[in-house]
Amino acid sequence: MSHQFPDIEARLRAALAPVDPPAHLQERVEATLDTLVELAADELETWELGAMRDPRNWPRAAIGPAAALVVGTGAAAGLVVLRTQRKRHRRRAQSRNPRDLAARTMRDAMREARKVLDDLAPGG
């Protein structure tokens, strides 16, 4: 059977090669995620604990902040992954071995997470 498809491995390798998305798409996704994080933070800031005193308000008062927490956390994690992923080529070139690459990747991810959290801080 291999005589019918002599270069099937090469074709599969070419077809499944990773493709970097265009820069404008990355920028658009990052801007959207950043907006979602900010909107979620605003929603959580405006949440009033006093509204929880009346049981009739519980569904409405709990759904907004819970949704904001889920959406904001997901968007923030997406931002960290996107920004960390952007620097992967440089990290790979600077790394001495897989363990060093993993350590550099974790440091970059932590640095990006701190940036996202700093942007959320008042006056940030």
Taking CA atoms, 88 is separated from 20, 50, 55, 91, 101, in Å, by: 11, 46, 50, 5, 9
37 and 79 in contact (C-beta within 8 Å)?
yes
Within a domain: residue 12? no
pLDDT at 123 over 70: no
Within a domain: residue 39? yes
* Confidence at residue 3, expressed as pLDDT on a 0 to 100 scale: 59
Range of the domain at 57: 22-120
Residue 76 token pair? 């923030």
Within a domain: residue 10? no
Within a domain: residue 46? yes
Residue 78 token pair? 């997406």
Indicate the number of domains in the chain. Answer: 1
Confidence tier at 26 by pLDDT (50, 70, 90): confident
Within a domain: residue 58? yes
Which residues have CB under 8 Å from 88's CB, separation 6+?
Answer: 105
- 83-103: pLDDT as tens digits: 998 888 899 999 999 999 999
- 69-86: pLDDT as tens digits: 999 999 999 999 999 988
Q: Please give the sequence-ordered ranges of beta strands (E in DSSP) within the chain, or none if there are none.
A: none
CA 21 to CA 77: how far, in whole Å? Answer: 19
Residue 15 token pair? 């077809």
Within a domain: residue 49? yes
Provide the mean pLDDT of the chain.
85
